[in-house]
Every structure is written in C-alpha cells, then in structure tokens.
C-alpha cells in the first residue's frame, strides 16, 4: 500500500498591493463525493457548460487554509446538507490542467489546479437543495452510473474508489 501523498505547498495570498488578484479564483479546489450506504452516489448538473455532471466541487477561498473547511462549506452551499456531517479526506490530491471554459476565472499564468478529494457517506438519500446559480438538477445514481455520468476523470476515479458497502 502506498503512503498518502504529501500535501502540495500552500499557495500564497496575494499581497495587499495586489488587491485585484482577488478577482481570480484560487487554483486549488475540493471534490466531495456524497454517497449512501445503499451505494447510491449524488451527482449534480451544472448550469454551464451544458450537460456537465459532477459531484460537489469548489475552489478554496484565498483566506482558507484547510481544504476540509472548503469541503464543508461547498457541501452546504451546493446541496444544503449540514456542514456537521462527517466529511472524510480520501488522502488523494489531484493535479490537472484547467480546461479552456474555466481558464478566464484564473490568473493568466495559471494553467493547473490542485484538487483535494473528500467523501461523505449518508445512511440514506437526503433531500438536496441546489444552489440555482451553479446547478440545475441532481440525481442519485448507482456507483457505476454516476461514474459514467460525471464529466471529470478525477471525479470518476473518486467515485470508483469509494469504499465497498457491505449490506447489513
């Protein structure tokens, strides 16, 4: 078994004189896969680009120092689920190129994103309250169907790597 990856070096905050740098997103994000003990996975359909399905995702804010805090915040913002749910770090950190549709959100020299992977296991489906500015639909799917539906290869890998569910 391989040891967990070492965390990347934290990104520095823009200095006071670079206030305009805050207009760009931080190229460090979280991916939170929500699933049930019945082995169903929640997927969300983004408003843009069309038909882009994913788990909960979001960038760390410049002032956030712990990806777990960002994972809890995004969980609540995108699904309405309680921040107090147990959010488990999967000990996976991905680094990938930022795709063209999202490049304008980042500083011009930024080409890669760092993604911290988390999971939340629920005893059963829970009602989801979408953030209408970001998502327009949600679905609870089997693990296989969810992995096939999501657009991101890192999201697909995170879904397929979820722990096996042992029926009671």
| CB 146 within 8 Å of CB 59 | no
Cα separation values, 93 from 79, 86, 154, Å: 23, 19, 10
Q: Is 165 within a domain?
A: no
Kindly report, residue by residue over 146-155, the tens digit of the pLDDT: 999 999 999 9
Arithmetic mean of pLDDT, 34-51: 94
- Polymer length in residues for the chain: 168
Domain membership of residue 42 (yes or no) is yes
Q: What is the mean pLDDT of residues 116-128?
A: 97
Asked if the structure places residue 88 within a domain, the reply is: yes
In-domain check, residue 30: yes
Q: Which of 131, 157, 41 is nearest to 78 (CA)?
A: 131
CB 99 within 8 A of CB 12: no
pLDDT band at 21 (very low <50, low <70, confident <90, very high): low
Mean pLDDT of the chain: 89
**Within a domain: residue 154?**
yes
pTM for the whole thing?
0.86
**pLDDT above 70 covers what percent of the chain?**
86
Quote the pLDDT of residue 132: 93
More reliable by pLDDT, 18 or 47: 47
Rounded to an integer, what distance in angstroms lies between the CA atom of residue 138 and that of residue 148? Answer: 15
Query: What mean pLDDT is predicted for residues 23-31?
Result: 95
Q: From 58, 60, 76, 151, select the one nearest 120 (Cα to Cα).
A: 76
Range 137-150 average pLDDT: 98
Q: What gap in Å lies between CA 126 and CA 76, rounded to an integer?
A: 13
Q: Give me the mean pLDDT over the 95-115 stretch.
A: 93
Inside any domain, residue 140: yes
In this predicted structure, what is the pLDDT of residue 164? 84
Measured between its terminal Cα atoms, the distance across the chain in Å is 28
| Structure confidence at residue 99 (pLDDT) | 87
What's the number of domains the chain is made of? 1
Does residue 14 fall inside a structural domain? Answer: no
Q: Is the pLDDT of residue 110 over 60?
A: yes
118 found inside a domain: yes
pLDDT of residue 5: 52
Q: Which domain holds residue 45?
A: 24-160
Task: Report which of residues 145 and 2 the model is more confident about.
Answer: 145
User: Where does the chain have alpha helices with state H?
Assistant: 67-79, 143-149, 153-160
Which CATH number is 123's domain given? 3.90.79.10
- Asked if 120 contacts 89 with a C-beta cutoff of 8 angstroms, the reply is no
């Amino acid at each position: 078994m391989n040891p967990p990856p070492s965390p990347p070096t934290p990104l520095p905050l823009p200095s006071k004189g670079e206030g305009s740098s805050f207009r760009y997103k931080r190229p460090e994000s979280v991916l939170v896969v929500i699933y049930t003990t019945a082995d169903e996975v929640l997927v969300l359909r983004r408003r843009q680009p069309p038909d882009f399905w994913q788990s909960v995702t979001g960038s760390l804010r410049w002032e956030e120092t712990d990806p777990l805090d960002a994972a809890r915040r995004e969980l609540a913002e995108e699904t309405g689920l309680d921040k107090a749910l147990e959010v488990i770090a999967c000990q996976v950190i991905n680094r990938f190129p930022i795709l063209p549709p999202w490049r304008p959100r980042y500083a011009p020299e930024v080409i890669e994103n760092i993604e911290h992977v988390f999971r939340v296991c629920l005893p059963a489906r829970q009602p989801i309250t979408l953030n209408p500015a970001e998502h327009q639909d949600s679905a609870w799917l089997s693990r296989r169907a969810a992995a096939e539906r999501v657009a991101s290869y890192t999201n697909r890998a995170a879904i397929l790597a979820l722990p096996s569910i042992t029926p009671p």
